[in-house]
Structure 1
Amino acid sequence: MSSMFDVVVGWGDAEPKPSGSGITLALQRLQVPPSGACFIGDSPSDIAAAREAGIISRGAAWGYTGPALSNHAPDILLSNLSQVRRTVADLMGRTGQYRTTPSD
């Protein structure tokens, strides 16, 4: 399955969330600046990790924590999956760096 991703950061590669070190490591390996990324998560530790890594956080209100995730101040709270598509499209428009298929 790792062949489907340009970079995989897993257990043992970085400190666990809420540390942002895993996100930072992934961005370094991808050679993408923090301004060219966002992190979508459904838990307070996801939001904290994004904040520590210096990237935009998107909270998934339909996930583990639910709407109460707004109490942890994600940059934007998403209420459904269609908003994820818009988030990715916005990011692609800003950076031109997003890849939708695995590299060969």
Structure 2
Amino acid sequence: MRYPVVLFDLDGTLIDSGPIIMASMRHASVTVLGQEPDEERVRAAIGGPGLIAQMRDLDPDRVDELVEVYRAHNEPLHATLESFEGVFDMLAELDRRGHRLGIVTAKRVATVRLALDRFPLLDDLTEVLVGAEDTERHKPEPDPVLEALRRLGAAPGDAAYVGDSPFDIRAAKAAGVLAVAVGWGGIHPDERLAAEEPDALVHEPGEILDLV
């Protein structure tokens, strides 16, 4: 096996959460600021340093209120989440082959748990979870990926990181792991992902099996 460790982003990579993220960002902006957010600007920031940074971009003076309203709207929507077709089959096959799997995300661990409650198999198949509170610096910095490797006792050369955003690709490359971009997330267009020069850009979960 070329890469014994395979780490994954969560939103837009394993779960189809783009729609609920966008709905909650719009709700927070309209409720708190009384205005529609710039959708393209919001999409471009998803997968980056995290929710607080996104809200600071909307209005630096009302970050706490924006975050509170967003979370109150977003957390119940996790009960409606769907996974991407073929993703869980791919994870199960990686597990069967003996790969060690993990999640590295900008979400708080408590919010990730809402998704894991929705998809218990995802919890069963992954060995490590690194969330927003686990590192001081966040994607696109390499720290979250490196923290996952530290917990697993693994070297960067033995690992791949799979994600749907430019921030994921940058973090993977900075950490020295195989950078795999996925084109099924529905948040970031292929051309933006390709501009980051990932080691691979895939459009079907099964393609990951051939890479690792």
Whether TM exceeds 0.5 here: the answer is yes
Deviations 1:21-47 (A, max 9, x none): 010011011011111110111110000
User: Structure 1 residue 53 and structure 2 residue 175: aligned?
Assistant: yes
Deviations 1:61-99 (A, max 9, x none): 222213111111101111222102223xxx3xxxxxxxx
User: Structure 1 residue 12 and structure 2 residue 136: aligned?
Assistant: no
Q: Which amino acid aligns with 2:206?
A: S
**How do 1:31-42 and structure 2 match up within 5 A?**
31-42=153-164
Please tell me whether Structure 1 or Structure 2 has the larger radius of gyration of its CA atoms.
2
Instruction: Please identify which structure carries the higher helix content.
Output: 2
> Which of the pair has the greater relative contact order for Cα pairs under 8 Å at 6+ separation?
2
Distance in 2 (CA, whole Å) between partners of 1:35 and 1:16 is 21
Question: Which sections of structure 1, spanning at least 5 residues, go unmatched?
Answer: 92-104
**How do 1:62-77 and structure 2 match up within 5 A?**
62-63=184-185, 64-68=187-191, 69-77=193-201
Distance in 2 (CA, whole Å) between partners of 1:54 and 1:30 is 16
Q: Which amino acid aligns with 1:11?
A: A
Q: Which amino acid aligns with 2:161?
A: F
Identical columns (%): 32
Kept after mapping to 2: 8 A contact 1:60/1:66: no
Normalised TM-score (structure 1) = 0.75
Kept after mapping to 2: 8 A contact 1:42/1:66: no
Could you say which residue in structure 1 is the equivalent of 2:75?
A: none
Query: How many residue pairs get matched?
Result: 88
Report runs of 4+ in structure 1 exceeding 6 Å deviation.
none
Q: Which amino acid aligns with 2:197?
A: A
User: Structure 1 residue 82 and structure 2 residue 206: aligned?
Assistant: yes
| CA drift at 1:3 | 5.9
Q: What is the aligned-residue RMSD (CA, Å)?
A: 1.7
